[in-house]
Amino acid sequence: MLSAQIVNNFKNLKILCIGDIMLDKFLYGEVERISPEAPVPIFKITKEKSMLGGTGNVIANLSSLGVKTFYIGAAGSDDSSVMLEHFLKQTGCDYSFIKPQGFPTTTKIRMIANNNHLIRADKETFLQMDENLLQELRKKIEAVIQKADIVLVSDYKKGLLTLESTKMIIDVCKKYGKKVLVDPKERDFSKYSGADMVKPNLKEFELVSGKKFDTSAKDFKQKIKSEALDIMKKYSINNLLITLSKDGMIFVSSDFEKEPVHIPAEAKEVFDVSGAGDTSLAVLGASIAAGLKIEDAMKLANLASGIVVGKLGTACVSPMELKSAVINHSSDKTLAQASKIISKEEAVEIIKDLKFQNKIIGFTNGCFDVLHLGHIHSFAAAKKECDCLFVGLNSDSSVKRIKGEQFPLQDEKTRAYVVASLEFVDYVVMFDEDTALELVKALKPDVIAKEGLKIDNWPEAKYVLSYGGRAVELERIEDYSTSAVLTKLDEMKTNGALNV
Which contiguous run of DSSP H or E holds residue 81? helix 79-91
- CB hemisphere CA count around 375 (13 angstroms): 20
Count CB atoms within 10 A of the CB of residue 200: 26
**Measured distance CA(417)–CA(261) in Å, rounded:** 35
Active site (annotated) includes residue 278: yes
The 10 Å Cβ neighbour count of residue 256 is: 12
Q: In 3D, which of 295, 248, 234 has the Cα closest to residue 276?
A: 248
Phi and psi torsions of 88, nearest 5°: -65, -40
- Identify whether 408 is preceded by a cis peptide bond (ω within 30 of 0): yes
Tell me the HSE value of 218 on the side-chain side, using a 13 A CA sphere.
0
What radius of gyration do the chain's Cα atoms show? 26
Do the strands 361-366 and 388-394 form a parallel or antiparallel pair, or are they unpaired? Answer: parallel
127 CB-side CA count, 13 A: 30
Strand residue runs (E) in 55-115: 68-74, 94-98, 107-113
Report helix, strand or coil for 80.
Answer: helix
CA dist list (Å): 263 to 267, 268, 297? 12, 15, 11
- Where helices occur in 130-178 by DSSP H, the ranges are 131-144, 163-175
| Active-site residue, selected from the candidate residues 20, 196, 278, 296 | 278
Q: What torsion do the CA atoms of 427, 428, 433, 436 make, to the nearest 10 degrees?
A: 50
**In the chain, what are the helix, strand and coil shares in percent, each to the nearest 5?**
45, 25, 35
Three-state secondary-structure class, residue 365 = strand
CA dihedral 480, 469, 360, 451 (to 10 degrees): 0
Instruction: Name the residue among 48, 41, 29 with its Cα closest to residue 113.
Output: 29
CA–CA distance, 202 with 134 (Å, rounded to integer): 31
- Closest to 182 measured CA to CA, from 153, 148, 141: 153
Phi/psi of residue 172, nearest 5 degrees: -65, -40
Residues marked active site are found at: 278
